[in-house]
Amino acid sequence: MKTKSSEVILLGIFLALKEYNKRKRYLVRCSYVSHPPEYNRHQVGFYTLDELVPKDHFLRKVEETIDFSFIYDLVEDSYSSDNGRPSLDPVLLVKIPLIQCFYGIRSMRQTIKNIEVNTAYR
C-alpha cells in the first residue's frame, strides 16, 4: 500500500508541476506579447499643432494666403456681445465647409468627425 500512496503523491506532484509549467509558459508568452519595459502608454508628451502638422501642408498655405478676418466685419451686426452665450467663431463656421469642399467630403457629419481626428484641420 505504501507504494500506491507514494505513487499518488508522485502523481500529484507531477500534475502540480505540469500545471505550474503550463502557467509559467503562459506567463512567458504574455510577457512577450506585452510592451517592452521602456514603453509606457501613459507617458505624456507636449506638442504644439505646429509641430504635428507639416510645414508644407495645403491648409497651412490656405491660412497664409487668405486673411479670414474680414468675416468678423461681415457678421458684426448679427452677433451681440451682451446677449446670451457666446457663439461659435464665425471664421470657424466658414472654414468647416471649405475643408469639406477641399477634401471632397459629402457629409457635414463626416467633416466634423474628420476635424476631430485630423490635427491638420485645426
The answer to whether 120 and 57 have CB atoms below 8 angstroms apart is yes
In this prediction, residue 15 carries a pLDDT of 67
Residue 31 pLDDT: 46
Find cell 495645403 and name the residue: 58
The domain segmentation of the chain, as residue ranges, is 1-40, 49-121
Q: Which amino acid is at 73?
A: D
Beta-carbon contacts of residue 58 (< 8 Å; ≥ 6 apart): 102
Query: Coil, strand or helix: which one is 56?
Result: coil
Report pLDDT for 79: 81
How would you write the pLDDT of the chain (122 residues) with one tens digit per residue?
455 666 666 666 666 666 666 555 544 444 444 455 566 667 777 888 888 888 999 999 999 999 999 999 998 888 877 887 778 899 999 999 999 999 999 999 999 999 999 988 88
Q: For residue 98, what are the contacts with CB-CB under 8 A and spacing of at least 6? A: 62
